[in-house]
Structure 1
Amino acid sequence: MLTGVALSAAMTAVAVVAAMLQWWWLLTLAAMVLLSGAFLFALDADRRVRSLPTWATELARRTVASHKPPKPPKPPAPVVVAAPATEQDVLGAVRVLQAQYIGRLDRLQTSIEHELELLRAHSAERDERGEATTDANVP
């Protein structure tokens, strides 16, 4: 297939060059080679399509001849039902969620306090240099 594509590209290039140089005999030869290649490709495709039903029939016959009965399905695994949740389970889950939430709030508060300290230090530094601290100057 790749060879056919390369040959077609080469013949097309030859035909274009021949047309530019007005070598009509070479242009005709290149066009004939391209058309012959397309015709041979069509014949080969037709032959393959026609031979497909016999190949498929032979494959079906061999498959039916070597067919084994299916194995019986395995019995389904027993279903395990978990015990119902008790009050202690629910209370434990709520406490875990509460601890996670409080931990996140603590981290948030710490980061906010840290940023506030940085902002105050920056403002104090600007005051020492004598720069005006207005709302427009605060980053």
Structure 2
Amino acid sequence: MLAGEYPPRWGGLGTATHHLASAMVADGHQVSVITRHTSWLGFGAYPGTELQGVEVHPVAWAPVPMAFTRSYGRAALRKLRRLHRQNPIDIVHLHCPMIALTARQIRSIRSQIAPMVATMHGTWLGEKDGLRLASR
């Protein structure tokens, strides 16, 4: 899973991702979450590389308004490729909108790593125009 929020950085997206990942682990699946490193923001360091059975892989990102989603996307993709080389991945779950990937990056994930699903977290009011455009 690629999610820009994950405990200890909580929000709606992080909460939903955490509950889904934990439930999948409880069902016997191996789950890895690639998220943004947050210790320098005062949220505390990740407690090791595992949280309730979920492998957590924090990556660096640029704390720049309107640019952090791209920098996190690039770092997450590099980490995803490394993890796939170590242990082949079955499926990639992209949790949006805290990550921005180009069409080329998405195609490379789908062709070189694994099938991908995406969940758009947020409100209909905030994302309706983007969702309508994407459906065309």
More helix by share: 1
Confirm or deny a common fold (TM above 0.5): no
TM-score range, shorter chain: under 0.3
More strand by share: 2
User: Structure 2 length as normaliser, TM-score?
Assistant: 0.23
More relative contact order, 1 or 2 (CA 8 Å, 6+ apart): 2
Q: Which has the larger radius of gyration?
A: 1
